[in-house]
Structure 1
Amino acid sequence: MAVSTKQKRLGAVVTVVAAGAIGLTGCGSSSSGGSSPAGSTDPASSASSSPTSGSTSPRTGVDDSPLPQVSHGSTIPAGPSGSSAADTGAVGNAGVDLAKAAFPVTLDRAIAVARTELAGGTITKLGLDFDTRAGRWVWEVDAQKGTKQRELKIDAGTGKVIGGEHDDESSEPRAVDPKKLTPEAAIKKATALVPGTVAEWTLHHDDGVQRYEIEIRTGGSDTQDVVVPVDTGKAVRD
């Protein structure tokens, strides 16, 4: 049967429409099978994504701030140790009782200043005395390296080095050890023997014996010196 031109054109249109429908169906199948549904999250991309701006890195607990350096004339901060009991007003009071007074700069801190000033030296003498010229209580620290000795005065209120002398020694240095018998323990033994208030103390070697020499005010202008050897801990009048 003969086919008219109009019929041929209509058939072509139907063929094209049918092919388009098939193509659309194939795209829909590929999309539903190869991509995630709307609103879902890809676990892999989620795991590799960077933290949000509000997140923080875990703290290690390590303080990397540098330790303070000490140089001549500098001040060591009193810090937490002993500072709560320290009486800054006592620094300029010559009449305080060293058995009870506490200063902003402790003995340990004074030793730290001396070790910085006298690098490599052996500490041969320690003491606490009122410097009448400065009007301040001062730590007296001697250190020796070889035959060269340095005597330092360290302000008990600020930690500043306010004086010092150089000297020559013929003998090898002998280190003092204030932890073997602490100044507090030696003072307690001395005042048990001689009641009164403590005016000053010194720790050094005398004739090969490491000992404390403690000056005690007994009343008025009277004083009594008491010696406490470190090895025996027995207080005796001097």
Structure 2
Amino acid sequence: MRHVGSTITIATALGAALLLSGCAPTVTAIPPTASPTQPAPEATPDATPEAGDGDAAVGTTPRDVDLTKTEFATSWRDALATGAKSFDGEPVSVSLEWNRTAWAYTVKLLSADEVYLATVNADSGAVIGEWTKQRDGGGRAGTPSNVFPADGVIEPSAAIAAALAAAPGTFEEWELEEDNGVLAYEVQIDQGHDDVDVRIDAASGKVLEVDQ
């Protein structure tokens, strides 16, 4: 303790002597170093596209729409015409069902030796996917015999309405094809505990069969 006190006394005396002799040290204040200003990030506009922009697999018609009162922008005839642009064959069936994010048609065309399938967005008409494979029998398969006409056929909405009247429930899908010489819609109805298939004559709209 004594040693510290004498050191302080000596330092005080030296400081006083310097002041009296005019030799006081000059103290220069050093301002704090200014940190460089970081530029504010530029505001970028919200350019995130809406889900499905430009996506052929996304539709605009909701899944729970009443299809007894709905006609799509792209008809099943349009879907068949789209398939015919890519494949030289005859139409044998077309169907409609919910394809993950859109109502879509699947069209089936046959040539003498190949099968062609295309899935077409029912809202936009865009091709979601297409496949070609060899028919059973290869080049010996011959010309398809169950080709159906696109004229004189009732609209799908009428077929769905007739099927729901025969088997109330929720519409799942329909397929239009010729069976035993009769062109018919086969409409699948979900009744909760089970699915029911209802065949509707594609010309008259008459219920041909209810398969429960």
Shorter-chain TM-score bucket reads 0.5 to 0.7
Q: Give the 3 Å change call, closer, same or farther, for CA 177–185 of structure 1 in structure 2.
A: farther
Which aligned runs of 4 or more in structure 1 are off by greater than 4 angstroms? none
2:97 aligned partner, one-letter code: D
- Find the aligned partners of 2:72 and 2:204 in 1 and give their Cα distance: 28
Q: Is the 8 A contact 1:128 1:202 kept in 2?
A: yes
CA displacement at 1:226 relative to structure 2: 0.6
Aligned to 2:117: 151
SS in 1 for 2:172: strand
Identity of matched residues, %: 29
Taking the TM superposition and a 5 Å limit, the aligned residue runs for 1:141-180 are 141-167=107-133, 168-169=135-136, 170=141, 172-173=143-144, 174-180=146-152
- Find the aligned partners of 1:208 and 1:171 in 2 and give their Cα distance: 18
CA displacement at 1:122 relative to structure 2: 0.6
CA displacement at 1:101 relative to structure 2: 2.8
The CA RMSD measured in Å over matched residues stands at 2.5
Aligned to 1:49: none
5+ residue gaps in structure 2?
1-55
Match of 2:197 among 225, 228, 232: 225
Aligned to 1:140: 106
5+ residue gaps in structure 1?
1-74, 76-87
Aligned to 2:98: 130
Aligned to 2:175: 202
The answer on 1:89 being equivalent to 2:60 is yes
The answer on 1:108 being equivalent to 2:77 is yes
Q: Give the 3 Å change call, closer, same or farther, for CA 227–94 of structure 1 in structure 2.
A: same
CA displacement at 1:140 relative to structure 2: 0.9
Instruction: Give the structure with the higher percent helix.
Output: 1
CA displacement at 1:155 relative to structure 2: 1.2
Q: Is the 8 A contact 1:105 1:157 kept in 2?
A: yes
In our comparison, the structure showing a higher alpha carbon Rg is 1
For normalisation by structure 1, the TM-score amounts to 0.53
Count of matched residue positions in the alignment of Structure 1 and Structure 2: 146
2:129 aligned partner, one-letter code: G
The answer on 1:181 being equivalent to 2:134 is no
Q: Is the 8 A contact 1:96 1:199 kept in 2?
A: no
SS in 2 for 1:153: strand
2:60 aligned partner, one-letter code: G
